[in-house]
Structure 1
Amino acid sequence: MKLPIACNFGALNPNQQHRYKEIQNHLKKAVLRTDEFSDGYSFVYPNEDEVIVTLTEWILLERLCCPFLNLSLNIRSDQPVTLTLSGSEAAKKGKEELGL
């Protein structure tokens, strides 16, 4: 089954929507680098426990409103943390429009 390429913020309850926005603002300030590739982006963050917990919480919410995305978190003890969002070209365009 092919998932529609449409973010459904309504899939989150009001508390989740509020938390999602808080997390997104925090993560935008914490990002060290953004890398673009053909079907998505990678966001590099400091390797800190708080950042890893926040990224994990964001992933749990993001998968509810944007199930068409592939989300991965790469954590190594000696490297920055990398969050990768990927999908089709349409998925990438949709996330660009949301300011990610």
Structure 2
Amino acid sequence: MDLPIACTLTETARRERRQTIMDSFRRIGVTVAELPDGYAYTFPATSEAFMQITQLVDMERECCPFLNFKIVVEAGKEPMRLEITGPNEAKSVIANFFIAFL
């Protein structure tokens, strides 16, 4: 079953959430890399960053069910990675919401 490429948040809620995410990502020093079907965000290996990642995924999977989230945490102090992917049409949604501020 194909899910529609549309966020269920209101415009006001979407702006507020984006600002919250932007502030968090900037504070903890996130970098971004393009993937064929989305983007990968690299976070420092800290408890704060891990909490931010899990909170983000928990929020976003509710309002954007067409997106896929993969959290990669390796042993030691290697950076953590969040991959957000989806159908071809979703890539521009991801870019507009998550990478415009990086």
Superposition RMSD on alpha carbons, in Å? 2.3
Deviation per residue, 1:36-55 (Å, 9 max, x gap) = 02101100000001110111
Q: Whole-Å Cα distance in 2 between the matches of residues 4 and 19 of structure 1?
A: 21
Query: Cα distance 1:87–1:98, how it changes in 2: closer, same or farther (>3 A)?
Result: same
Q: Whole-Å Cα distance in 1 between the matches of residues 97 and 53 of structure 2?
A: 18
Query: Cα distance 1:44–1:59, how it changes in 2: closer, same or farther (>3 A)?
Result: same
Q: Whole-Å Cα distance in 2 between the matches of residues 92 and 19 of structure 1?
A: 19
Q: Whole-Å Cα distance in 1 between the matches of residues 66 and 96 of structure 2?
A: 15
Q: Of 62, 67, 70, which residue of structure 1 is paired with 2:68?
A: 70
Partner of 1:2: 2
Q: Whole-Å Cα distance in 2 between the matches of residues 82 and 24 of structure 1?
A: 16
Please state whether the residue corresponding to 1:25 is helix, strand or coil. helix
CA apart distance, 1:26 = 0.5
Q: Whole-Å Cα distance in 1 between the matches of residues 42 and 88 of structure 2?
A: 21
User: Mind listing any 5+ residue stretches in structure 1 that lack a counterpart?
Assistant: none
Q: Whole-Å Cα distance in 1 between the matches of residues 21 and 52 of structure 2?
A: 7
User: Mind listing any 5+ residue stretches in structure 2 that lack a counterpart?
Assistant: none
Query: Cα distance 1:74–1:99, how it changes in 2: closer, same or farther (>3 A)?
Result: closer
CA apart distance, 1:23 = 3.7
Query: Cα distance 1:94–1:40, how it changes in 2: closer, same or farther (>3 A)?
Result: same
Whether the 8 Å CA contact 2:84–2:94 is kept in 1: the answer is: no
Partner of 1:52: 50
Partner of 2:91: 92
- TM-score normalised according to structure 2 size: 0.79
* AA aligned opposite 1:68: F
Whether the 8 Å CA contact 2:37–2:88 is kept in 1: the answer is: yes
Once superposed, which parts of structure 1, at least 4 consecutive aligned residues long, lie more than 3 Å away? 17-21
